[in-house]
Structure 1
Amino acid sequence: MKLAFRFSYFGDRFFGSQMQPGLRTVEGEFIEACRLLGLFDDWREAGFVTAGRTDRGVHARGQVCSFSTDEPDRAVQALNKVLPADIWCTAWAGVPAGFHPRYSAASRTYRYYFFAPENVAAMHEAAQEFLGRHDFSLFARVGDRNPERRILTARVFKDGPFTVFEVTGESFLWNMIRCMATALDRVGRGEAVAGDIARLLTEPAGQRIPAAPPDGLILWDIDYGISLTPLPIDEKSRQHLVDRHRYHAVMAEVAACLVPEDRQLDTHRI
């Protein structure tokens, strides 16, 4: 039976999501958990694949993987008990043989969390320049790939102490959202305006926009148009979430004492 799992993780303790020999990665830990449970012996034969890679330090709320197994009930009931505390499955579904987490996706949504005060209205206005199909050569590491991408929605809003950039597109290039975030951050700080982003999209010549730090980026959701069955989070992962919240609450108080008021950064992390 072929299964799809939606799962979350904190990316700061992994060397990215993609498997790398000798390094702790999200895929490596997930595959090892499947092996321990006897869900498959060879991940290649099982067709294990994820919706896409995330860089070191990037988090996920809605990453998706799929694989085939003769033990679907065991997978659903036990994966969260075997996975490390910083990875946890949130939902699952039985999927057709032709389902592919990457190519079957209709759209992907990311959020970038800014940890400093920003001009939200100006950033939201500037984010509208990304809508539609554009050449993102100056907003990504393109390589030999087609630099054109279609953005479906984009908005900037406040969420508690954070300023959040949320963007939905059919697909994204490497570092694309983080480069877009840098451009919006410049607008939020009064160093650029919406017209500057429009110009970079219509006249893609010159120096590429640098990528914003990875720790603010979250793969938020992937739309497949299928129904998923929710899964309860394991107690070890629940405690991990509580411990991280407490730690970053303390770090925020320390930062408030050490950083001058006009340069304060919120050190909470997602």
Structure 2
Amino acid sequence: MEEDQKDNPPRSAPVRLAYRVSYLGSRFFGSQMQASERTVEGEFVEACRRLSLFDDWRKAGFQFAGRTDRGVHSRGQVAAFTTREPERAKSVINTQLPPDCWCTGYAEVSPQFHPRFDARSRTYRYYFSDMPENTGAMDRAAGQFPGTHNFSNFARIEDKNPYRTILSARVKEEDGFLFFEVTAESFLWHQVRCMATALLTVGNGGDEDTVSRLLVSEAERSLQPAPAEGLILWDTDCGIEWQPLPSDERSRMFLDHLRRHHSLMETICRKMQP
């Protein structure tokens, strides 16, 4: 009996972990797992398998707080799974993730924790590529969003309830860039990007009442969503106090390379202007 115990040491009790996840969406086909495409969930699951944190992602209860479309980025996605190797998961998860995806925090959570259903709110930021003429009008128009409204004119509804509750919304300039920030309990497909389109119309000379009119008018053809690359899932509030995690050196080098590349391209474009 003693020899059997030596050959088969008792396994540690399972622990449920949550992670705050950042990623650059440009090279992903969205966050949701797909069989034949590169996705954030797919890369995360494969990293966990390489670390032997679990074998079957379903049995481990692997979940993300929500989905993001192709090209959309994240600063505050939340992932969760259950593992018998929590110390390994905490210490080396970033070494196995690709450089365009990394965890910035972790927490031990209850066995029942579900990042989607336990999320209190989600915050998105949409960064505009150009500076519109009237940013003040955009901020005033954004102030019409808070409250519970029918967003049929701002989203792809399909079979969903079109009503959503917006907790806060603003347009602000920071570091030379203009962004729209909105917090809600939940969002519909393309909702934030369509809201950004409406605000951009206002900023470029449109009627400030555009937003209020679309919120109360009969469902029309929904607005064209703004380009995905401007959208960031900024935060998901699950009531968690995160323990910080340093990003892997590969991710830091990857981000530095992107910054240098974009700086170079800006310089080239200026030199090529007539």
Q: 2:94 aligned with 1:86, yes or no? A: no
Superposed counterparts of 1:116-265, under 5 Å: 116-118=130-132, 119-190=134-205, 192-258=206-272
Which TM-score applies when normalising by structure 2? 0.92
Please state how far the C-alpha of 1:73 moved relative to its aligned partner. Answer: 0.4
Q: How many residues align?
A: 259
Contact persistence 2:23–2:75 (CA under 8 A): yes
Please state how far the C-alpha of 1:257 moved relative to its aligned partner. Answer: 4.3
3-state DSSP of counterpart to 1:194? coil
When residues 115 and 182 of structure 1 are mapped into structure 2, their CA distance, relative to the original with a 3 A threshold, is same
Q: 2:28 aligned with 1:14, yes or no? A: yes
Which TM-score applies when normalising by structure 1? 0.94
Residues 113-122 or 52-61, more deviating: 113-122
Please state how far the C-alpha of 1:117 moved relative to its aligned partner. Answer: 1.2
Contact persistence 1:127–1:154 (CA under 8 A): yes
Consecutive unaligned residues in structure 1, runs of 5 or more: 261-270
Deviating above 6 A after TM superposition, structure 1's stretches of 4 or more consecutive aligned residues are none
Contact persistence 1:126–1:193 (CA under 8 A): no
In 2, Cα distance between the equivalents of 1:76 and 1:183?
Answer: 42
- Identity in percent: 56
Q: Deviations over 1:117-171 (max 9, x none)?
A: 1222111000011110000001001100000000001110112231110000000
In 2, Cα distance between the equivalents of 1:222 and 1:259?
Answer: 42
When residues 159 and 223 of structure 1 are mapped into structure 2, their CA distance, relative to the original with a 3 A threshold, is same
Please state how far the C-alpha of 1:258 moved relative to its aligned partner. Answer: 4.8
When residues 93 and 183 of structure 1 are mapped into structure 2, their CA distance, relative to the original with a 3 A threshold, is same
When residues 222 and 24 of structure 1 are mapped into structure 2, their CA distance, relative to the original with a 3 A threshold, is same
3-state DSSP of counterpart to 2:181? strand
Superposed counterparts of 1:72-111, under 5 Å: 72-111=86-125
In 2, Cα distance between the equivalents of 1:169 and 1:258?
Answer: 43
Q: Deviations over 1:2-43 (max 9, x none)?
A: 000001000000111111111111000000000000000000
Q: Deviations over 1:194-224 (max 9, x none)?
A: 2111011011322211100000000000111
When residues 259 and 160 of structure 1 are mapped into structure 2, their CA distance, relative to the original with a 3 A threshold, is farther
Residues 246-255 or 113-122, more deviating: 246-255
In 2, Cα distance between the equivalents of 1:83 and 1:217?
Answer: 22
